[in-house]
Structure 1
Amino acid sequence: MLEGEERRQALLARLHQSNLAISASKFAAEFGVSRQVIVGDVALLRAAGEDIIATARGYKIDKEAQEVGYMAKIAVQHGEEATQQELEIILSFGAEVVDVIVEHELYGELVGGLYIRTHEDIQRFMDKYQNSQSNLLSQLTNGIHLHTIRYKRTTDLDKIKAVLAEKGILYQG
């Protein structure tokens, strides 16, 4: 069994070698520690500046972060019935939905990593939501939420916002 820093370096090496997300449970079994130890290891690695993202499928290195030129936050408001439509609009311009952010009265800013890049990612997310007992973060805030998006061309953001506004999804305040 590897100890502390040695385990974290081995975990980081595995993440750099993989293009797929690796779950904390899989790492725990591999290293002979609890899942919570792995969660702590990842927290320490992230605090040290490593670009590790947590997805619904596990941890991965954010290799695409440097490939796409621009990032922005957009404010939207809609009910759960428009969730898939919102995501499809953003992806239709070649953008990625990085996360969802809501402002909670008690906890402040709550961020959920999405990392939705493909229509298959949308379908996985929607299936997981529909088959769970969970609520969307936006349900805590009357549908108002932010998304961080990555996009390739400076004109993409305006186009995304225009279509979201046309569909009544872009938050108008």
Structure 2
Amino acid sequence: MTAGSKRMTDGEMRRMNILEILNDRTTPVSGTELAGELGVSRQVIVQDIALLRADNKEIMSTYKGYILHSPEMDGRECMRVMRVNHNTEDTLDELQTIVDYGGRVLDVSVEHGLYGHITVDLIINNRLDASEFVAQMEQSHDQPLKALTGGCHYHTVAAQEERNLNLIEEALDKKGYLMRD
């Protein structure tokens, strides 16, 4: 080792491995899975993800796990934020309506009086993703984010064309889910 060289720490190597794993996957990877692959606790993974984000790595957290944001995700789709309100029992129908018309649910957000704007990445691309999300929501026994605001919440929806977004809004409006200003 030369005088100017620096040996990489175990943490730096692990974070580099996390990025490689996420880069090789097109679907989210759970913190538990990363912890198992790298031989550390899930809490160490959570801390590593925070450090990677602080280093400007665009890692999104979804209900299924972590996914690396790629430039291909930007610019090819039209996006619209939709304000909705419905019962928790209607969540699956709402999400499936969006994907059935060619949309992808990127996130859910609420405007909270005390905490301000709260957003959580969802990345729901199809009916299976919607069903898995609702099943996980039911198993968790936690309240969905919309519970903080009496049901009112927002979704960022992406689609290949504006036409799809218009159809999604029309369908959500017909079902009474869409809130107009």
Give the structure-2-normalised TM-score.
0.85
Structure 2 partner of 1:22: 29
Q: Quick one: which of 114, 136, 140 aligns to 2:122?
A: 114
User: Is 1:72 matched with 2:80?
Assistant: yes
Q: Which ranges in structure 1 are unaligned for 5 or more consecutive residues? A: none
CA contact (8 A) 1:98 1:149 kept: yes
Read off the aligned partner of 1:85 and give its amino acid letter.
D
Segments of 4+ moved more than 6 angstroms: none
Query: Structure 1 residues 106, 4: closer, same or farther in 2, change over 3 A?
Result: same
Q: Which is greater in Rg? A: 2
Secondary structure of the 2:80 match is strand
User: Is 1:129 matched with 2:141?
Assistant: no
Deviations 1:16-38 (A, max 9, x none): 11233222223223333332221
Secondary structure of the 1:134 match is coil
Count of aligned pairs between the two proteins: 173
Secondary structure of the 1:20 match is coil
Structure 2 partner of 1:146: 154
Q: Distance in 2 between matches of 1:24 and 1:155?
A: 37
Deviation at 1:67, TM superposition (A): 7.2
Give the structure-1-normalised TM-score.
0.88
Identity of aligned pairs, percent? 37
Structure 1 partner of 2:3: none
- In angstroms, what is the RMSD of aligned CA positions? 2.1
Structure 1 partner of 2:67: 60
Deviations 1:83-126 (A, max 9, x none): 11211111112110011101122222222221110111111111
CA contact (8 A) 2:81 2:156 kept: yes
Query: Structure 1 residues 17, 116: closer, same or farther in 2, change over 3 A?
Result: same
User: Is 1:82 matched with 2:125?
Assistant: no
Read off the aligned partner of 2:124 and give its amino acid letter.
I
Q: Distance in 2 between matches of 1:141 and 1:152?
A: 30
Q: Which ranges in structure 2 are unaligned for 5 or more consecutive residues? A: 1-8
Deviation at 1:54, TM superposition (A): 1.5
Structure 2 partner of 1:91: 99
Q: Distance in 2 between matches of 1:106 and 1:40?
A: 26
Q: Distance in 1 between matches of 2:111 and 2:46?
A: 25
